[in-house]
Amino acid sequence: MSEFEEYTSGHSILFDLDGTIIDSRVGIIETLHKVVSELGHIPDKTIDLTWVVGPPLAELMAEVIGVYGDTRVDKAVALYRRFYEETGRFQTPLFPQFSILLRRLERSPVRIFTATSKPASLALSILKNHGLDECFDTVHGAADDDTGGEKPEMIARIIHQEGLDPARTLMIGDRRFDIFGAHANRLRAIGVLWGYGGKDELTEAGADLLVSSPDDLPLAIDGQLRALSRS
């Protein structure tokens, strides 16, 4: 029995992946440093790259290699995909309690999906590595060429494809992109503070609720779903 058993299949939750379910910072940053090296530069490891978790790949790659006066974005993206597939995707530990939470949700009528800027195929592979892929009704993300990773358009696509009711759907993520994407589609959005956006970013983006610890997320989800049921 799940504490979410009282809800129905009309209730849905969209989860961001990086910085929300998995701590992907190390794998992503080490992969970026490999790309910079492969392009012929010496990586400056004093540069703060924590912000790179969340934005679409081509956008962040242009900024990362631009520091070195390099504009070969397409090549950098191709290298990143290769290196991340080889090693980076294995450097993605779960944040505490997420395995338990996702299995509780799986046992409930609530439908759960990912809404990640990662390619959906890569997101599925990472979740399989953790034995959590079957917890989700569908793993949604960008295409394999990284197109379709912008959150407003992605969430709209998920709502349409899955037949979701925005008034009964909740978005959970750690960056402003998640909050903006949710609100653009009239969804409530929980901002999580263990990820890479931080309190100021999520507050400015207008998160409906901030949650400081994975331990507190089940109660926060329950509260938001109750509020959606009353609306």
Averaged pLDDT of the chain: 93
On whether both 99 and 181 belong to a single domain, the answer is yes
Q: Is 136 within a domain?
A: yes
The arrangement of strands across the sheet holding 169-173 comes to 138-142, 111-119, 12-15, 169-173, 188-192, 209-211
The residues, ordered by sequence, that sit 6+ positions from 41 with a Cβ below 8 Å of its Cβ are 65, 68, 70
Q: Is 6 within a domain?
A: no
Rounded CA gap, 38 and 25, in Å?
20
| Number of Cβ atoms within 10 Å of the Cβ of 214 | 18
CATH assignment of the domain containing 101:
3.40.50.1000
- For residues 61-81, one letter each, b for 16 or more C-beta atoms within 10 angstroms of the residue's C-beta and e for the rest, the string is bbebbeeeebeebeebbebbb
Query: How many structural domains compose the chain?
Result: 2
Beta bridge partners of 89: none
Q: Is 166 within a domain?
A: yes
Q: Is 36 within a domain?
A: yes
Q: Is 4 within a domain?
A: no
Determine the structural domain holding residue 107 and report its residue range.
Answer: 12-23+92-230
The residues, ordered by sequence, that sit 6+ positions from 31 with a Cβ below 8 Å of its Cβ are 80, 83, 84, 87, 88
Q: Is 5 within a domain?
A: no
Which residues does the annotation mark as catalytic? 16
pLDDT at position 54 is 67
Amino acid identity of residue 170, one-letter, is: L
Long-range contacts of 118-127, Cβ-Cβ distance < 8 Å, separation of 24 or more: 118/17, 118/18, 118/142, 118/149, 119/143, 119/144, 119/146, 122/84, 122/85, 122/89, 123/17, 125/89, 126/17, 126/22, 126/89, 126/92
On whether both 70 and 162 belong to a single domain, the answer is no
pLDDT at position 78 is 93
On whether both 83 and 180 belong to a single domain, the answer is no
Beta bridge partners of 112: 13
Sign of CA dihedral 121, 179, 220, 108: negative
On whether both 119 and 214 belong to a single domain, the answer is yes
Residue 229 has pLDDT above 90, yes or no: no
The residues, ordered by sequence, that sit 6+ positions from 86 with a Cβ below 8 Å of its Cβ are none
| Confidence band, pLDDT 50/70/90 cuts, at residue 2 | low
Rounded CA gap, 37 and 58, in Å?
18
On whether both 104 and 150 belong to a single domain, the answer is yes
On whether both 19 and 121 belong to a single domain, the answer is yes
On whether both 79 and 158 belong to a single domain, the answer is no
- The predicted model scores a pTM of 0.88
Q: Is 146 within a domain?
A: yes
Rounded CA gap, 76 and 20, in Å?
26
Task: Please give the average per-residue pLDDT across 135-150, as a whole number.
Answer: 92
Domain C-terminal end among 65, 90, 115: 90
On whether both 148 and 160 belong to a single domain, the answer is yes
On whether both 125 and 66 belong to a single domain, the answer is no
pLDDT tens sequence across 29-88: 999 999 999 999 999 999 888 777 767 788 889 999 999 999 999 999 999 999 988 998
pLDDT tens sequence across 159-192: 999 999 999 999 999 999 999 999 999 999 999 9
On whether both 86 and 190 belong to a single domain, the answer is no
On whether both 85 and 98 belong to a single domain, the answer is no
Say which DSSP state 126 is in.
H
pLDDT tens sequence across 185-222: 999 999 999 999 999 999 999 999 999 999 999 999 99
Report DSSP letters for 47-67, one per residue.
S--GGGSSS-HHHHHHHHHHT
CATH assignment of the domain containing 75:
1.10.150.240
pLDDT tens sequence across 76-119: 999 999 998 899 888 899 999 999 999 999 999 999 999 999 89
CB of 97 closer than 8 Å to CB of 214: yes
